[in-house]
Amino acid sequence: MKRVLWSLIVLSFMGVLTGCGYNEMQAKEEAVFAAWGDVEASYQRRADLIPNLVQTVKAYAQHERETFQAVTEARAKVGSVQVSKDMLDNPQAVQQFQQAQSQLSSALSRLLVVAEQYPTLKANQNFLDLQNQLEGTENRINVARVRYNRATQEFNTSIRIFPNSMTNRLLLHLKRKEPFKADA
């Protein structure tokens, strides 16, 4: 009899947890982590394209050493500033990551401006292919950031609404995740 009673209590407790958003909050947090993985993959793709782009431009614009150095340094900084999924609730870590990515974007823009000054480079098929790949990657980054922000907003809302907020406070202790903010 006691066993049946305990089984009913456990089943009731599990039903209450499900009804109080326990599973929902965990699923939404996993969605945030998955979206963050997409952001990281998109940024990594861009970082992987940079050496080829720099080498192609370097062959045509050898005296633009300052621009090449800025791109190389920005890429190195991006590689040193990593944000794991466990750090997504740390505003400073996310901001540092975002600043490093913005610096790399700025350096890449300067590199492409340099490339515009060399008509033979602009006609080079390898350069055009790399430029198209970079453009596509920038679009992927934007889409990944939008999806991450959407997942973050849904998660942050889910941990703040009743009764989820009580379940979170008592059992899960999940923290708010930081969204990307617009580049300044």
Task: Tell me the average confidence (pLDDT) per consecutive run of 10 residues in the chain, 184 residues long.
Answer: 78 64 91 95 91 84 76 82 82 88 88 82 83 92 96 96 88 91 69
Instruction: Give residue 32's pLDDT.
Output: 95
pLDDT at position 74, please?
A: 85
Query: What's the pTM?
Result: 0.79
3-state secondary structure the chain: CHHHHHHHHHHHHHHHHHHCCHHHHHHHHHHHHHHHHHHHHHHHHHHHHHHHHHHHHHHHCCCCHHHHHHHHHHHHHHHHCCCCHHHCCCHHHHHHHHHHHHHHHHHHHHHHHHHHCCHHHHHCHHHHHHHHHHHHHHHHHHHHHHHHHHHHHHHHHHHHCCCHHHHHHHHHCCCCCCCCCCCC
Domains parsed from the chain with CATH numbers: 20-172 (1.20.1440.20)
